[in-house]
Structure 1
């Protein structure tokens, strides 16, 4: 029954383009003009969209993603998973081979609180790894379980040595193989600098729970873009981007857009810039992404 609710819509809207037709006439009641500089608006957008663990930069995928959908038939899940893979591929993120072990798990359910609680109970260490650098705080975890959002998510990221690809912080239970004593990873720096670091932040796992009763008038295309966004970036569940166009607004206003906005795609492209390998801090990430968002929006406005 649950699969039937989304199967036909996903197949029709994500896999096929709708036939061209003239847009219906729309009466505009109010026009809101934001007179602030574009750079200021971009910074606000970035600050409200992204949320990294304390003292860390925004993470991104550097290993292949493997997305699994639960409580959907193959026919319903395939166009959704293909869409997420297509968005990821456009950003330079590879997808795992068939049969890969999922590191992105999307669960469709009619009881999201019970499912979120069950996921947490089944793998508490996977949500609280014993180090604040890997995930958001307990308040956000409480929102993941007990919140009322139509879609809820939980990201785990890992500070990683960009030179070796290995974890750069110690976890409980880490031992020196030679002595058997507690030990932290060794990082061999190739350059001495107070301004830059070879430590980067890598996404490692994402849990997403979708309340099928809360989808409402959101279209399959909007839903697919929304899920792709929270799969590929650490989105702040408490952020307010209502002043800018974003797919993140579709549950409050399903008529706000067909899916990804220019702001959304500019954010993702900036986050996945191939020439940026390491990050210094959250402010540096926000400045970098805000610059790219502002450039993209400004160039799209040129004739």
Structure 2
């Protein structure tokens, strides 16, 4: 059985619920106006600090992103809510130039709800460690992060798997244990997300609108978001469970970040170089005439 099949089977067994698909979208709750952001000369540095704080690739690797296709499966959720979440994430993925999968596609994003997040995480880690950590030191954030995924009390937890690919041929480049540089300005490998697992603990999510939850999940499956990031001074959906606002949406800041990540060069030789490019593109997006930048 594939990793996706194992995860969904395990999720269903732990919850006794059914896989969700197709139906009318639910009421997503009110949309909150998060206000304007004031632009100034520190904008690019602020964006760079956000990228450094919010993105957590494996040690020594560059930030990964999906290369083209994403296929989402939501398990243990009422079908209409499951389909709404799939559609919300798929719409954002399409805006970034990705191709959302058709019904019946082989999932590379699995989202499962449960009433015991640690139990599900531990069960999946025990049965799927080889899939969740396929190339030690390259594909994931390491043993400590893997343990934290299993024991966290967070309402939403996630695990990313990324792999290096040859920039020119698209071939898997696992033989390159270190990124080989063509020059100081270019690497011949890129970092692609290969799969993402998300567990929603319904006992801890609380009174969060489903639209807000779906946007939060979209953010963490489309980028290697750091679950421990300190983002309280930024206007971002990543603060959903850290503030009193339970009906937030993806903000202009979030969208500019995702757009910058997915439009940045794939062959930057180092994470620091890539982060600078992403920050510059974010700043350009934030300087739109109708957008300003918040200060802490």
- TM-score after normalising by structure 1: 0.80
Match of 1:89 in 2: 94
SS of 1:123's partner is helix
Aligned position for 1:240: 230
* Counterparts in 2 of 1:2 and 1:43: CA distance versus 1, 3 Å: farther
CA contact (8 A) 2:207 2:246 kept: no
Deviations 1:188-217 (A, max 9, x none): x9x952331120000000000011111112
Determine if contact 1:245/1:256 at 8 Å carries over to the other structure: no
Query: Structure 2 CA distance, aligned partners of 1:87 and 1:64?
Result: 13
Shift of 1:139: 1.2
Which residue is equivalent to 1:217? 207
Report the more deviating stretch, 128-137 or 117-126.
128-137
Whether 2:254 is the aligned partner of 1:264: answer: yes
2:113 corresponds, among 79, 97, 108, to 108
- Structure-1 residue corresponding to 2:8: none
Does the 8 Å CA contact 2:161/2:196 hold for their aligned counterparts?
Answer: yes
Distance 1:91 1:230, change over 3 A: same
Name the CA distance, whole Å, in 2 between partners of 1:294 and 1:279: 19
Partner in structure 2 of residue 195 of structure 1? 185
Name the SS of the counterpart of 2:138 in structure 1.
helix
- Per-residue deviation, 1:3: 7.8
Q: CA deviation at 1:34?
A: 11
Partner of 2:147: 142
Specify every segment of 5 or more residues in structure 1 that has no aligned partner in the other structure, as ranges.
25-32, 171-183
Q: Deviation of residue 110 (structure 1)?
A: 0.5
> Does residue 294 of structure 2 align to residue 289 of structure 1?
no
Deviation, structure 1 residue 60: 0.7
Task: Find the aligned partners of 2:48 and 2:193 in 1 and give their Cα distance.
Answer: 23
Hey, what's the Cα distance between the residues in 2 that align with 1:249 and 1:163? 38
User: In the TM superposition, what is the alpha-carbon distance from 1:36 to its structure 2 partner?
Assistant: 8.0
Q: Does 1:127 align with 2:132?
A: yes
Distance in 1 (CA, whole Å) between partners of 2:40 and 2:234 is: 13
Structure-1 separation of matches of 2:78 and 2:246: 29
TM-score, L = length of structure 2: 0.82
Tell me by how many angstroms 1:35 deviates: 8.7
Aligned length: 271
2:195 to 205, 213, 224: 205
Conservation of the 8 A alpha-carbon contact between 2:39 and 2:287 = no
How far does residue 76 in structure 1 lie from its aligned partner after superposition? Answer: 2.2
Quote the RMSD (CA, aligned, Å): 3.2
Q: 2:24·2:84 contact (CA, 8 Å) conserved in 1? A: no
Q: Provide the residue aligned with 1:57 in structure 2.
A: 62
Runs of 4+ in 1 over 4 A off after TM superposition: 1-4, 6-10, 33-36, 300-303
CA distance in 1, matches of 2:141, 2:226: 10
User: How far 1:256 sits from its partner (Å)?
Assistant: 7.2
Given that 1:10 and 1:220 are in contact with CA atoms closer than 8 Å, whether structure 2 keeps it comes out as no
Q: What is the CA–CA distance in structure 2 between the aligned matches of 1:35 and 1:57, rounded to whole Å?
A: 28
CA contact (8 A) 1:247 1:257 kept: no
State the secondary structure of the residue aligned to 2:158. Answer: strand
Question: How many angstroms does 1:2 deviate by?
Answer: 9.5
Quick one: distance in 2 between partners of 1:290 and 1:256?
Answer: 28
